[in-house]
């Protein structure tokens, strides 16, 4: 078997979109294989070990979900990101939620795609049972559900704690607004307002207000990133 | 001529299923009629026949007794007397000796058909009653007497066979008449049915060819055909309205998409004719992406609404707690309300269960709360209230802002509709359309009320058997 941690398979039939995706991922340090139809994807998926696979829902020969199922039955365990143009209410893609893999609705920003792939690749790499998460001088106690910075407790609502936990778990990586909605609120819709920004703003005031350095950073056009200074 | 018309009608109606069913009914009914008539005929015939035989047997008995007491001489005398008196119309007597030479009676020859010691026979005799030209059928019993003489007693059964024939003819005629009438009735009914169906058919064809303005004519009889036509006409009305709405929406989509697309086109055209300048290009590209995102958002909102309206999402229906959803929304939007200096609060039960799609309900209520914060008073109050009434769960979102004029209440649910004063606030006029679609999917009702001051939007869910959990009393552990 060939492959590796930074090797991804992209299954996309539109040549221009495929080219753009390959480009975006290559720039982010990924090795990218491209399959333009379902059969090609099955061949590649079975012969190579990928960190992540993205599969378009609608392919010219085989349905993207069937490709995924087929690979799974053949023992391929790499996480799959399904890309659908059918919208958030596509029932079958919604069904994926239970399966644990991710989905993205077309059109999407490339940063969003990269962020999702990063998250999936990490998920396949680390399975650690921690009770305390750390980022810089921030400490999250997952048992007592309390957050402290330099030993001083930060008062957080349960949902705010969840949000911060998700940030810290993805330390150093971009987290998009849609990912937050999906993983913190278990919601799958596109808020037309800046509601997430306002919410994060409040958490940020509690976490970063009057501290030595900020932990939550805004990534323009995408979302946020938690980063502690080295 | 009549046959030609009937066959022409038949040819037209032969393919009709109604006619086929009528034909089947006629066949079954006809079989019963034939069986019944056959029974009537045979029982009447055998009754009359046995009556004749009894008359003959009684007469024979009298003669036989006379023979036993008076011998051949007495018998001859009696036969002569009976022929002279004729007590029974059409009666027939003959006494012949051992070699069949007639001794007395009104038959000149012993019929050759009657041989043997005794028996019954039907026959016709040419010699009998020479005044009659016809040769009527006869029935007789005969016996060889102990002195080897032959005695025959019989009756003319012309009447009997006439009666049989008449019954038979009557039955055949009645049967034929029934078949003809039934056939005609079924043709008429079929013609009528085919005619009504044809009216519906031709209207359908006219609609396919020219448009939705045609309607199926009613006959005013209020029968089932009129009811069918009425339902179909109502359906056509509904389709016509929907088509009108689709055209309206298409126009609106075109308008709402053209505006940003024109802007983008102009911007790109300008940039095309300019010298490359990285700062300018950067802001141009980011503006264009933002505009494109707005266009895409309109698209996804529209597809979302039509998907919900296509009723395809019931698969995700399960029991959800409305209070929990409301709580999460209030928590999510709390920060947004705070930012405007206002307050968002939740009033109501801990567990109000409804059957529905969590994501869609969240989306709908979030839309209402978002509207209330956005369009309500700065530093205002927004209250989300949940109640569980007998008639079903109710959720309302109320603000204390300027509200909307009563004559706009119905318009706000239309796609792309925006109040004049909110033209310049962010939004695409699809929020309440989405809420409306979600509400209808859940068979709930939405109402707009004046909150005095402000606006209150209330969603009433249909009564569910699963609600009412919050009424369950929790035992206290220490008192």
**Tens digit of each residue's pLDDT (9 = 90 or more) over A54-102:** 998 888 888 888 888 888 888 888 888 888 877 666 656 655 654 557 8
Say whether pLDDT at A35 is over 90: yes
So what's the pLDDT on residue B311? 67
Peptide bond into B250 cis (omega under 30): no
So what's the pLDDT on residue B244? 83
Catalogue all structural domains in chain A, each as residue range(s) with its CATH number.
2-125 (3.40.50.2300), 132-226 (1.10.10.10)
CB atoms closer than 10 angstroms to residue B302: 21
Is B332 in contact with A199 (Cβ distance < 8 A)?
A: yes
So what's the pLDDT on residue B376? 85
How close does chain A come to B329, measured CA to CA in Å?
A: 10
Q: What are phi and psi of A175, to 5 degrees?
A: -120, 120
Chain B residues within 8 A of A199 when measuring between CB atoms: 332, 335-336
Alpha helices of A137-176 — where are they, by DSSP H?
158-169
Cβ(A70)–Cβ(A64) below 8 Å:
no
Is A89 in contact with B336 (Cβ distance < 8 A)?
A: no
Residue B91, H or E segment? strand B91-96
Is B370 in contact with A195 (Cβ distance < 8 A)?
A: yes
User: Residue B474: which pLDDT band, with cuts at 50, 70 and 90?
Assistant: very low
Cβ(A192)–Cβ(B370) below 8 Å:
yes
Nearest to B333 by CA among B344, B347, B346: B344
Is B427 in contact with A157 (Cβ distance < 8 A)?
A: no
Average pLDDT over residues B259-275: 85
A111: tokens are 């940063």
List strands edge to edge, sheet with A216-219: A174-176, A223-226, A216-219
Nearest to A188 by CA among B145, B313, B103, B179: B313
Cβ(A186)–Cβ(A194) below 8 Å:
no
Chain B residues within 8 A of A94 when measuring between CB atoms: 316
Top-confidence residue, B14 or B228: B228
Say whether pLDDT at B465 is over 60: no
User: CA B69 → CA A187, B34, B72, B149, distances in Å?
Assistant: 124, 52, 9, 15
Peptide bond into B453 cis (omega under 30): yes
Cβ(A210)–Cβ(A154) below 8 Å:
no
How close does chain B come to A3, measured CA to CA in Å?
A: 35
> Distance between CA atoms of B358 and A152, rounded to whole angstroms?
38
> Distance between CA atoms of B248 and B458, rounded to whole angstroms?
27
Say whether pLDDT at A128 is over 80: no
Interface of A with B (CB under 8 A): 87-89, 91, 94, 105, 107, 157, 159, 185, 187-195, 198-199, 201-202, 221
> Distance between CA atoms of B28 and B24, rounded to whole angstroms?
6
A207: tokens are 């976490």
User: Residue B470: which pLDDT band, with cuts at 50, 70 and 90?
Assistant: very low
So what's the pLDDT on residue B127? 58
Cβ(A191)–Cβ(B366) below 8 Å:
yes
Top-confidence residue, B169 or B126: B169
CB atoms closer than 10 angstroms to residue B152: 23
Nearest to B145 by CA among B230, B75, B58: B75
> Distance between CA atoms of A74 and A66, rounded to whole angstroms?
12
Top-confidence residue, B170 or B135: B170
Cβ(A132)–Cβ(A97) below 8 Å:
no
Is B336 in contact with A195 (Cβ distance < 8 A)?
A: yes
- Residue B59: alpha-carbon gap to chain centroid: 69
Chain A residues within 8 A of B427 when measuring between CB atoms: 192
So what's the pLDDT on residue A190? 65
How close does chain B come to A195, measured CA to CA in Å?
A: 6
> Distance between CA atoms of B36 and A184, rounded to whole angstroms?
84
B426: tokens are 């962010």
Residue A7, H or E segment? strand A7-11
Percent of chain A with pLDDT over 70: 87
B400: tokens are 């204390």
How close does chain A come to B311, measured CA to CA in Å?
A: 11
Which range among A144-148, B44-48, B361-365 shows the weakest confidence by mean pLDDT?
Answer: B44-48
> Distance between CA atoms of A44 and B304, rounded to whole angstroms?
35
Say whether pLDDT at B97 is over 80: yes
Chain B residues within 8 A of A181 when measuring between CB atoms: none
> Distance between CA atoms of B364 and B298, rounded to whole angstroms?
16
CB atoms closer than 10 angstroms to residue B455: 23
pLDDT, chain A, mean: 83
List strands edge to edge, sheet with B392-399: B343-348, B381-389, B392-399, B455-460, B445-450
Top-confidence residue, B259 or B286: B286
pLDDT, tens digit, 9 for 90 and up, residues A157-203:
888 999 999 999 888 888 988 888 888 887 766 666 678 888 899 89
Percent of chain B with pLDDT over 90: 8
Place of tokens 């069904």: A95
Strand partners, B124: B137
Is A87 in contact with B307 (Cβ distance < 8 A)?
A: yes
How close does chain A come to B362, measured CA to CA in Å?
A: 8
> In b/e form, how buried is each residue of B179-216, taking b as 16+ CB within 10 angstroms?
beebbeebbebbbebbebeebeeebeeebeeeeeebbb
User: Residue A44: which pLDDT band, with cuts at 50, 70 and 90?
Assistant: very high
Catalogue all structural domains in chain B, each as residue range(s) with its CATH number.
2-126+133-162 (3.30.450.20), 224-309 (1.10.287), 314-468 (3.30.565.10)
A149: tokens are 């910075």
Q: In chain A, whose CA is at the least distance from the CA of B300? A: A87
Interface test with A, best of B283, B288, B293, B300 (most A CBs within 10 A): B300
Residue A3, H or E segment? strand A2-3
Average pLDDT over residues B89-106: 84
- Looking at the partner chain, which of B304, B316, B431 has a beta carbon nearest the beta carbon of A94? B316
> Distance between CA atoms of B60 and B79, rounded to whole angstroms?
11
So what's the pLDDT on residue B21? 83
Query: For residue B428, what is the DSSP state?
Result: -
Instruction: Report the phi/psi class of residue A202: left, alpha or beta, with left for phi > 0 and alpha for psi in -120 to 50.
Output: alpha
Say whether pLDDT at B249 is over 80: no
Cβ(A226)–Cβ(A170) below 8 Å:
yes
Average pLDDT over residues B309-319: 72
Q: In chain B, whose CA is at the least distance from the CA of A194? A: B336
DSSP per residue over B430-462, as a string?
Answer: -HHHHHHHHHHHTT-EEEEEE-SSSEEEEEEPP
Alpha helices of chain A — where are they, by DSSP H?
15-27, 38-47, 64-73, 91-94, 96-99, 110-125, 158-169, 177-184, 195-208
pLDDT, tens digit, 9 for 90 and up, residues A4-14:
568 999 999 88
So what's the pLDDT on residue A2? 47
> Distance between CA atoms of B25 and B324, rounded to whole angstroms?
64
User: Residue A147: which pLDDT band, with cuts at 50, 70 and 90?
Assistant: very high
- Looking at the partner chain, which of A159, A187, A221 has a beta carbon nearest the beta carbon of B359? A187
User: CA A36 → CA A22, A77, A103, B189, distances in Å?
Assistant: 12, 21, 19, 64
Strand partners, B151: B95, B143
pLDDT, tens digit, 9 for 90 and up, residues A106-123:
888 888 888 889 888 887
B201: tokens are 């058919």
Q: What are phi and psi of A185, to 5 degrees?
A: -105, -5
So what's the pLDDT on residue A39? 92
User: CA A31 → CA A22, A67, A126, B385, distances in Å?
Assistant: 9, 21, 20, 53
How close does chain B come to A27, measured CA to CA in Å?
A: 20
- Looking at the partner chain, which of B307, B316, B331 has a beta carbon nearest the beta carbon of A159? B331
Residues 6+ apart with CB under 8 A from B313: A89, A91, B307, B357, B360, B441
Is B10 exposed, middle or buried, given 0-12, 13-18 or 19+ CB atoms closer than 10 A? middle
């Amino acid at each position: 078997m060939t492959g590796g941690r930074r090797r991804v398979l992209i299954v996309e039939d539109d040549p221009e979109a495929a080219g753009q995706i390959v480009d975006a991922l290559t720039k982010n340090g990924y090795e990218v294989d491209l399959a333009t139809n379902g059969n090609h994807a099955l061949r590649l998926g079975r012969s190579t070990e990928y960190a992540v696979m993205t599969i378009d829902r609608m392919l010219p020969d085989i349905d993207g979900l069937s490709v995924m199922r087929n690979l799974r039955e053949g023992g391929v365990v790499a996480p799959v990101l399904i890309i659908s143009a059918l919208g958030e209410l596509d029932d079958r893609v919604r069904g994926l939620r239970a399966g644990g893999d991710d989905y993205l609705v077309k059109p999407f920003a490339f940063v969003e795609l990269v962020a999702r792939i990063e998250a999936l690749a990490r998920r396949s790499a680390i399975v650690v049972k921690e009770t305390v998460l750390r980022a810089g001088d921030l400490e999250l106690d997952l048992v007592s559900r309390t957050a402290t910075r330099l030993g001083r407790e930060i008062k957080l609502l349960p949902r705010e704690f969840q949000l911060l936990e998700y940030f810290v778990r993805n330390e150093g990586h971009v987290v998009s607004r849609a990912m937050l909605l999906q993983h913190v609120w278990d919601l799958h819709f596109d808020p037309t307002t800046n509601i997430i920004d306002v919410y994060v703003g409040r958490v940020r005031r509690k976490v970063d207000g009057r501290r030595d350095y900020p932990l939550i950073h805004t990534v323009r056009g995408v979302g946020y990133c938690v980063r502690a200074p080295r | 001529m009549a046959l030609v018309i009937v066959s022409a009608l038949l040819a037209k109606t032969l393919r009709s299923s109604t006619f086929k069913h009528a034909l089947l009914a006629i066949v079954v009914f006809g079989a019963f009629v034939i069986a019944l008539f056959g029974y009537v005929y045979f029982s009447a015939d055998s009754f009359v026949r046995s009556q004749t035989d009894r008359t003959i047997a009684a007469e024979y008995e009298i003669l036989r007794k006379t023979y036993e007491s008076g011998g051949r001489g007495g018998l001859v005398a009696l036969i002569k007397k009976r022929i002279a008196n004729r007590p029974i119309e059409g009666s027939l007597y003959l006494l012949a000796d051992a070699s069949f030479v007639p001794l007395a009676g009104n038959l000149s020859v012993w019929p050759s058909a009657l041989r043997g010691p005794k028996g019954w026979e039907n026959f016709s005799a040419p010699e009998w009653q020479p005044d009659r030209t016809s040769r009527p059928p006869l029935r007789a019993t005969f016996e060889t007497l102990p002195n080897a003489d032959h005695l025959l007693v019989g009756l003319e059964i012309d009447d009997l066979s006439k009666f049989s024939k008449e019954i038979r003819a009557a039955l055949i005629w009645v049967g034929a008449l029934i078949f003809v009438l039934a056939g005609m009735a079924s043709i008429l009914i079929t013609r009528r049915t085919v005619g009504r169906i044809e009216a519906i058919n031709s209207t359908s064809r006219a609609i396919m060819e020219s448009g939705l303005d045609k309607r199926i004519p009613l006959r005013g009889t209020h029968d089932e055909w009129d009811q069918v036509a009425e339902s179909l006409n109502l359906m056509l009305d509904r389709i016509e309205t929907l088509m009108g709405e689709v055209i309206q929406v298409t126009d609106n989509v075109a308008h709402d998409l053209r505006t940003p697309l024109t802007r983008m086109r102009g911007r790109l055209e300008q940039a095309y004719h300019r010298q490359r300048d990285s700062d300018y290009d950067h802001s141009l590209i980011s503006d264009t992406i933002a505009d494109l995102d707005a266009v895409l958002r309109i698209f996804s909102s529209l597809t979302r609404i039509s998907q919900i309206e296509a009723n395809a999402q019931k698969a995700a229906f399960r029991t959800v707690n409305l209070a929990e959803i409301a709580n999460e929304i209030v928590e999510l939007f709390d920060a947004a309300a705070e930012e405007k200096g206002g307050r968002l609060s939740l009033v109501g039960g801990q567990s109000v269960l409804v059957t529905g799609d969590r994501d869609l309900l969240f989306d709908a209520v979030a839309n209402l709360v978002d509207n209330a914060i956005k369009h309500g008073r700065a530093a205002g109050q927004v209250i989300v209230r949940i109640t569980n009434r007998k008639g079903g769960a109710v959720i309302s979102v109320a603000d204390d802002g300027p509200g909307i004029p009563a004559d706009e209440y119905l318009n706000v649910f239309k796609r792309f509709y925006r109040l004049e004063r909110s033209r310049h606030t962010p939004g695409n006029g699809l929020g309440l359309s989405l809420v409306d679609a979600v509400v209808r999917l859940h068979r709930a009702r939405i109402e707009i009320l004046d909150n005095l001051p402000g606006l209150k939007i209330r969603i009433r869910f249909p009564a569910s058997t699963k609600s009412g959990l919050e009424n369950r009393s929790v035992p206290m552990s220490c008192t």
